[in-house]
Amino acid sequence: MSSELLLNLQEAVLYFFLNPVWLIALVAAYMLGSKRVSRERTDFNVGINKGSTEMKHILSVGWLHGLVLSILIAGVGLIVDFNWIIILSVIMLLVIVSFSYKLASPIYYVTLAFFALWALDRFAGDFSIGTWFVLEDLDFFGTLAITVPIIAGLLLISEGLLVRRHAARHTSPTFVPTQRGMRGAIYQSKLLWLVPVVFLVPGHMVAEYAPYWPQFTLGSEQFSFIPVPLVIGFSQLVRSTFPDVLLPKMGKAIAWLGVAVVLVGIGAIWMPVLGWAALIAGVLCRILLSAMISLSERNKQVLLVPQSEGVYVVAVLADSPAEKMGIVPGDLIKSVNGISIHNEDQLYDAIQVNAAHCRLQVIGRDQEVRLKQQVLFRHDHFRLGIVVVR
């Protein structure tokens, strides 16, 4: 019996990794990295981060979130419809291949799948696809009106925490024209997170499609665990401030929105229509939050533009002399080895005056003047490791 259960679990894991959502998300992450590196090399003649960064990120970050979400969903007993999972997966696939990751918030997936399933049940109740998509026993003002909004809120909280912690760390600078005809630097954050979530589904809904899928009995009912590779996407331009200032605040707002959706969803236990309200309000508020930030950033001046004295640091390469000196994006380098500079060429000419030692006068974001110095080894003066506005 135990060996049979082990084989079934192995089969479930295999199905998870063969899920097209998982596979296409990996391809999309690879393409994101390749496109970013190509753009960085066009703008700055160097790739700031490796092209594999997005691939490593999608594979490493979301697992803990998925574990916590799975324990909460299964532990509380939030049962969902198997057909809803199928529609959810199809919607995720469409969003992933569109590369429009402003649309990749889980509140959009979950809500659209809920109302698509309702529309099919309402207007095409006899619709089916073989034996694995059959509409039956759907209660949109009962169990689903409670569980789906709560799950949507939990996923929003997870999205907010991911944005708050990781979005600012994985931004890429790019040049844009300013209102004064110059070229200014802005930041783009475009990421995918893979969050493997286990959903709880009534056993009879899976039995016809996969009769050997692992099931367990609770009371008189049988249930199955269905692992789903949930993909959360994020895309945001930052032009009037710095990513480590704006994006954590945005992540915090998303997480609090998730808390509100969960609380209203819990209220659906006593008033089912609140479940519908929670989903609709969650979508509208998430759209409003993204639109407000985008409009605010669009209407403000670009922060990093060429200066008459000094050059702004846009990015610092990993393991470079500049990183060892403590240079950070937003620093304004005023002089090098006592020589005032006005552009990138003068910066490197001044470094080569004393190729063995680099002494920078820097004005930080707080407008305080600091001295940064570093012994430069052979060839280091050709690759200080900073990207500047030019």
Domain ranges for the chain, please list them.
2-298, 311-388
Mean pLDDT calculated for residue range 259-268: 95
Q: Sort 45 into a burial class: Cβ within 10 Å, 0-12 / 13-18 / 19+.
A: exposed
- Mean pLDDT for 152-159 is 96
Q: Which residue has the tokens 């691939």?
A: 55
Amino acid present at 271: M
Which 3 state secondary structure label does DSSP give 84?
A: helix
pLDDT tens for each residue of 274-307: 999 999 999 999 999 999 998 988 888 888 888 8
Nearest alpha carbon to residue 186 among 103, 100, 342, 300 = 300
Give the pLDDT band (50/70/90) at residue 381: very low
Q: Where are the beta strands (DSSP E) in the chain?
A: 128-129, 133-134, 171-177, 183-202, 215-218, 221-238, 311-316, 332-336, 339-340, 357-363, 369-375, 386-388
Helices (DSSP H) in 181-320: which residue ranges? 203-207, 243-267, 273-298
Please check whether residue 29 is in contact with residue 55, taking contact to mean a CB–CB distance below 8 angstroms.
Answer: yes
Q: Considering only CA atoms, give the Rg of the chain.
A: 25
Residue 128 has pLDDT above 80, yes or no: no
Q: What is the pTM of this model?
A: 0.87
DSSP 213: S
pLDDT in tens, 229-252: 899 999 999 988 889 999 999 999
pLDDT exceeding 70 applies to what percent of the chain? Answer: 81
> Spelled out in words, what is the top-level CATH class assigned to the domain 311-388?
mainly beta
Whole-number pLDDT of residue 239: 87
Is the CB of residue 72 less than 8 Å from the CB of residue 157?
Answer: no
Q: What is the pLDDT of residue 388?
A: 83
Instruction: Please report how the helices 20-44 and 82-98 are oriented relative to each other, as an axis angle in degrees rounded to 10.
Output: 20
DSSP annotation of 293: H
Per DSSP, 172 falls in state E
pLDDT value of position 59: 85
pLDDT at 143 over 70: yes
Strand order of the β-sheet with 183-202 is 171-177, 183-202, 221-238, 215-218
Q: What is the pLDDT of residue 94?
A: 92
Q: Please, is 377 exposed, middle or buried when counting C-beta atoms within 10 Å of its C-beta (0-12, 13-18, 19+)?
A: exposed
